[in-house]
Structure 1
Amino acid sequence: MTYEGVLKKMQTEFGNPIQYYLVFENSFLNVNQLLNNNIQISFLGYQCLNCGKKRKIFRQGFCYDCFYSSASVGDWIIRPELSTAHLGIADRDLVYEEKVQLQPHIVYLALSSEVKVGVTRKTQMPTRWIDQGANEAITIVEVPNRYLAGITEVALKSHYADKTNWRKMLTNSVEHVDLVKERLKLENLIPSEVQEYFYSQKNDLYEMHYPVLEYPKKVSSLSLDKTPNFEGKLAGIKGQYLIFDNGTVFNIRSSEGYVVSINV
């Protein structure tokens, strides 16, 4: 059967194992059902996720013009400490920025390769952790806006990584750390503005179980720009990656906006 459409990040359903879905305009595909089966992926073109035009994708599924004009990809997305909606100051679109920034956010520790610190909207947990391929995650603070989450993350970056080593994550070369004990070290490291929000519940550790038949020892990344036609046997799904039995991995998230045909 053939599925065709614009790639967007896989939708997920928390469970044991996590369920993954590729959703197209007129169809969807439960990717878990493809484990241990051959898949053919063919690159057909581009379509910007913002304007819908058939333009080459620049970053995050957006064409060049949209990436530098859309409020949904402002600098405060990657660097939440730059958020200014709580001050009534716009970056690109204050209405949009107030909607996103002025809602509960959490700062967390996640175990995806080594311990990392990160920020997400409360509504995005555990989705954010699944997208990062975290094996475990725990909340540090829950704050009322993105700015407070951002300054907390900045304060902790000197103690923890803020990015996932994707090769370690996909080979499951993950060090074991007790995140509950690790969190107890942090209360005096976070800014005074967020001390009152420190999260000290005992039983809020999330554990993620991914549908992986076998982890590869080494991985190589598939780029549809370089390899427009690919075929391989699906061995697992973790984060936003498809893992094939020959060690090839395909990052769906970084391929958003690519129009593809998938034959299963």
Structure 2
Amino acid sequence: MYEGVLTKMETEFTSPVNYYLVFENDFLNLNQLLDKTVKIRFVKHQCLNCGLNKPIYRQGFCQSCFFEVPQAAEWIMKPELSKAHTGEEDRDLEYEKRVQLQPHIVYLANSSNIKVGVTRKTQVPTRWIDQGAHEAIEIVEVPNRYLAGITEVALKEHIADKTNWRKMLKNDVDDEDLVKYRDDLKQYIPEEAKDYFIASNKETNIEFPVLQYPQKPKSLNLDKTPEYEGILKGIKGQYLIFEDQTVFNVRSNEGYVVSIEVMG
């Protein structure tokens, strides 16, 4: 029996990927639970910032914290709104400088389709694993988040920037030549970022620990179903996949305290 507040699964880039649930005083290697019956029970909420038992609003935070903490500011989801390179504060300039003023990657990832995205260089390949991408490639490496953001905005005029989670989980995906896509998109990179184009890398391939993909994935909602039991058949992206087609998005349940019982 394990109990703790959910945060996104930690990963180890092996073949296949190793997944871990990390709690305050314990951790669980989820790969070892494949083909075992797992029981998940909702206990309470615990905001990742204030720690209070208040309903989770978004990204693991209660409503008041979501609108206050720098980790949930708009530039997180829209990197083009980053301002630390100008010295202008959004919510907490020290935090913003620390996160925004470091090397960032604009990449192509193929999970349900080819999409463009942005991540800190230190988050490669973690970000791709979290999205359930079976292949990915870097396009540019820039010195700050703002440049990555304006590059992404320019490129998403020509390629998707969203993942279809159902298609990703069904493994209804094609292998694509990401090097060709990268080279074709080069012409659309903004002037300020053109010098940062990466011309000579190969795509990264990722294998996930999945024994059986769901054909009609249905999402487990702990607010509606506070207790669930099923046989774990796979882990992909930030999802647990069960034999009865139920899927559980760990990341979208951050801030939920759960107990997890392995039934054998």
Secondary structure class of the residue paired with 1:187: helix
**Residues 103-156 of structure 1: CA deviation (Å, up to 9, x unaligned):** 000000000000000000000000000000000000000000000000000001
Aligned to 1:172: 171
The aligned counterpart of 1:214 is: 212
Residue type at the aligned position of 1:238: K
Q: Which residue of 1 aligns with 2:250?
A: 252
Instruction: Return the alpha-carbon distance in structure 1 between the equivalents of residues 244 and 160 of structure 2.
Output: 29
RMSD of equivalent CA atoms: 0.6
Q: Could you tell me which residue of structure 1 aligns to residue 157 of structure 2?
A: 158
Equivalent-residue separation in structure 2 for 1:30 and 1:116 (angstroms)? 29
| 1:9-24 aligned within 5 A | 9-24=8-23
**SS of residue in 1 equivalent to 2:193:** helix
Could you tell me the TM-score, scaled by structure 2's length?
0.98
SS of equivalent residue, structure 2 residue 188: coil
* SS of the residue 1:184 aligns to: helix
1:58 equivalent in alignment to 2:21: no
Q: Which amino acid aligns with 1:122?
A: K
For residue 80 of structure 2, give the secondary structure of its aligned residue in structure 1: helix
User: SS of 1:185's equivalent?
Assistant: helix
How many residues get paired? 262
Q: CA deviation at 1:175?
A: 2.5
Which residues of structure 1 form unaligned runs of 5+?
A: none
Which aligned segments of 4 or more residues in structure 1 are displaced greater than 2 angstroms? none
Residue 226 (structure 1) aligned with residue 227 (structure 2): no
Encode CA deviations 1:49-89: one digit per residue, 9 max, x unaligned. Answer: 01111111110000001000001110000000000000000
Q: TM-score normalised to the size of structure 1?
A: 0.98
Q: Which moved more, 1:193-202 or 1:30-39?
A: 193-202
Q: State how 1:199-210 maps to structure 2 within 5 Å.
A: 199-203=198-202, 205-210=203-208
Residues 1-264 of structure 1 aligned to structure 2 (within 5 Å): 2-203=1-202, 205-264=203-262
Following superposition, the deviation at residue 202 of structure 1 comes to: 3.4
2: CA distance between counterparts of 1:102 and 1:148? Answer: 10
- What is the distance in 2 between the residues matched to 1:176 and 1:32? 25
The one-character-per-residue Cα deviations of 1:217-261 (angstroms, maximum 9, x if unpaired) are 110000000000000000000000000011100000000000100
Q: What amino acid maps onto 1:95 in structure 2? A: E
**Percentage identity across aligned positions?**
65
Q: Distance in 2 between matches of 1:225 and 1:4?
A: 17
Alpha-carbon distance in structure 2 between the residues aligned to 1:73 and 1:211: 31
- The one-letter code matched in structure 2 to 1:168 is K
